[in-house]
Structure 1
Amino acid sequence: MNTRRQFGAIMAGAALLPLARPAIAQPARLPDGPMRLVVPFPPGGPNDLVARVLAQKLGPILERNLVVENRSGAGGVVGTDNVAKSAPDGRSLALTSAGAIAISPALGAPMPFDAAKDLAPITLVALMPELLAVTPSLPVRTLAELIGYAKRNPGKLNFASSGNGSMPHLAGESLRAAAGIDIVHVPYRGAAPAVTDLMAGQVQMMFADMPAMMSQVQSGALRPVALASKERSPLLPETPTLAEAGQPSVEAENWYGLVAPARTPEPIRNLLHEAAARALKDPELVKAYGEQGARPVGNSPAEFRDFIVAETQRWGAIGRRANVTMD
């Protein structure tokens, strides 16, 4: 009887206690208001095209109005810096590129931000192969013929780029070293004027992101020689990779990655990554990127961070070996 009375008293007392409930993690939520995706280059370029397609898919997933904002300057550094210094609430993102967060710091350019400390990698968005093309007046059709011509005419071939220290510049320097040829670098302020002079024969060869030269290649105004990527492009199925053409050490793919301010809370970063990864699997996005020669990626933030480190080391070594300096 005593035992039963004691048990009853315990249960009666317990009934008066507040119910203990397990803690439930609240889902991450972006602050109200519009978001912006900063493109650190002028409208109409490859980076801008990739960003606008991504924004069309990412905005609805996040249930936010995602505005694309172009802030160009210093090879992508200006726009990327703007986001690095923005409020870390998940509403400011940048679709930056190799030049701004890997090549420029590797080559000692004055940087207003530290990519490793001031930016939070979200995901690698897309890879864009560099295409090597020549002016049609040059009597070559293959990489072997181009290298042979350069060796017979040392110092006579000019290769254009979109600027000192740009990926097209470093790709040309990489080919120069690997093939043992004497070619002269001619830097331009952007790809468009360089392509114009390439068509006119003022310069003879150039590496560039595929979209920068595809219409001219398709019209016959430029002649494709090789792709500096791991695999051929469906847009140019007959054009070999540099590895297939005998130069496996020359590989150059520009890339575009999504970053946020470094102090953005981890739950928000995870939310942004999950949304971006989902957007990059959208069939319409995959098709649109493919039409530009780009391949969507969508890796993890940790994988993207490791990728940035590896790219910084690789392009830094190529640039230092060729004594490349930034503008």
Structure 2
Amino acid sequence: MTAPLDTTLDRRQWLQFALAGSLGAALNPALAQAGYPSKAIRLVIPFTPGGSADILGRAIGHELTLAWGQSVVPENIAGAGGSIGADRVAKAAPDGHTLLMGHVGTLAITPGLYPRLPYDPVKSFTPIAWVARVPNVLVVHPSLPVKDLASFIAYARANPGRINYSSGGNGSAAHMTMAYLAQQTGIDMQHVPYKGTAPAVNDLVAGQVQALFTGVPAVLAQLRAGQIKALAVSSPQRVAVLPEVPAVAETLRGFEADQWYGVVGPAGMRAELVARINAQINAALKSPAILERLQAEGAQPMPSSPAVFGQLIAKDLARWGKVIKDSHMTL
């Protein structure tokens, strides 16, 4: 009579093989990341809802959700120039399931204004993908007797301290861009900070202030209504949404001060994982839905490598740090 099989031994061997396979996947980056994303991805947007960062972040998140079959959940964590939300991501696990929709303000300006940030803008993050650039536009109230950038600079030099310019707050992109223009031209103007871009635009339209240098989307409706005048854009070349408006660089060679947005993750993310997310975001930037959204925001898609995005962060960190230092800005 044949003896029965020892199925206990078979199950024990199966468990050993299964455990060995799991350990192998954990030790092999390619195997470990083959199932990414394995759960919902948290995309932290470090500003309040409704702004360009929020709109672009949600649009990118939607495209990634469709591509990966896992939810990309936008989460607005605002405060302290975006540093509160950025700190949450800096302290997260580097597994690609917590990402940050970064902005020039969060990653390159805020570090110069808040010397005791709980994170390092370079060491605490992994650059993943440059998403878009948004040009700033210099706009003035029609009562200001200027017709272009050259006459604006000439008027400011002849009338030091008489031009009041608004911004969305101390240290905002609008504040920094105008301060940069003032440094480059040696003009003296008075800064009037507001609690947000909307009231800064409203008071420009009302004539309470004379100038503003802010993102194109914030003033496009007012420009089209003829309530304010556009003198120049901050990008190296003219932009499609305002083709008749010259670039500042046409008057001041080398001037560039666009806002930009991009995705970063916590420090320590594996190169293979970064490459996978980067490729998917770059693919999303070519989709008709994203291109339509970017055009509506006056933005330009910027598909590129993680290395190029990292170089941009480092360059603007140094540039805006110098502007802050030379302007003696404090918060």
User: How big is the shift at 1:152?
Assistant: 2.6
1:62 is matched by which residue type in structure 2? W
Structure 1: runs of 5+ lacking an equivalent: 1-22
Q: State whether residues 154 and 182 of structure 1, in contact with CA within 8 Å, keep that contact through their aligned partners in structure 2.
A: yes
Cα distance in 2 for partners of 1:191, 1:56 equals 26
Q: State whether residues 46 and 209 of structure 1, in contact with CA within 8 Å, keep that contact through their aligned partners in structure 2.
A: no
User: How big is the shift at 1:48?
Assistant: 1.1
Cα distance in 1 for partners of 2:273, 2:158 equals 58
Aligned match for 1:145, one of 137, 141, 151: 151
Q: State the secondary structure of the residue aligned to 1:133.
A: strand
2:51 equivalent in structure 1: 45
2:19 equivalent in structure 1: none
2:199 is matched by which residue type in structure 1? P
2:207 equivalent in structure 1: 201
2:119 equivalent in structure 1: 113
1:68 equivalent in structure 2: 74
1:253 equivalent in structure 2: 258
1:268 equivalent in structure 2: 273
User: How big is the shift at 1:108?
Assistant: 4.7
User: How big is the shift at 1:316?
Assistant: 1.1
Cα distance in 2 for partners of 1:250, 1:187 equals 23
User: How big is the shift at 1:264?
Assistant: 2.9
1:310 equivalent in structure 2: 315
1:279 aligns with 2:277: no
2:101 equivalent in structure 1: 95
Q: State the secondary structure of the residue aligned to 1:115.
A: coil
Of the two, which has the highest radius of gyration?
1
1:118 is matched by which residue type in structure 2? S
1:63 is matched by which residue type in structure 2? G
Aligned match for 2:302, one of 291, 297, 308: 297
1:161 equivalent in structure 2: 167
Aligned residues between the structures: 303
User: How big is the shift at 1:66?
Assistant: 1.2
Cα distance in 1 for partners of 2:150, 2:200 equals 24
Superimposed CA distance per residue, residues 102-160 of structure 1 (whole angstroms, 9 cap, x where no aligned partner)? 11213453211112222111011111111110112222221122122222322111111
2:91 equivalent in structure 1: 85
Structure 2: runs of 5+ lacking an equivalent: 1-24
Superimposed CA distance per residue, residues 148-184 of structure 1 (whole angstroms, 9 cap, x where no aligned partner)? 2222322111111222222221211122122222211
Q: Report 1:165-180 matches (<5 A).
A: 165-180=171-186
Aligned match for 1:227, one of 216, 222, 233: 233
Q: State whether residues 31 and 89 of structure 1, in contact with CA within 8 Å, keep that contact through their aligned partners in structure 2.
A: no
CA root-mean-square deviation: 1.8
1:127 aligns with 2:133: yes
Q: State whether residues 126 and 294 of structure 1, in contact with CA within 8 Å, keep that contact through their aligned partners in structure 2.
A: yes
Q: State whether residues 28 and 267 of structure 1, in contact with CA within 8 Å, keep that contact through their aligned partners in structure 2.
A: no
Cα distance in 1 for partners of 2:35, 2:146 equals 57
Q: State the secondary structure of the residue aligned to 2:146.
A: coil
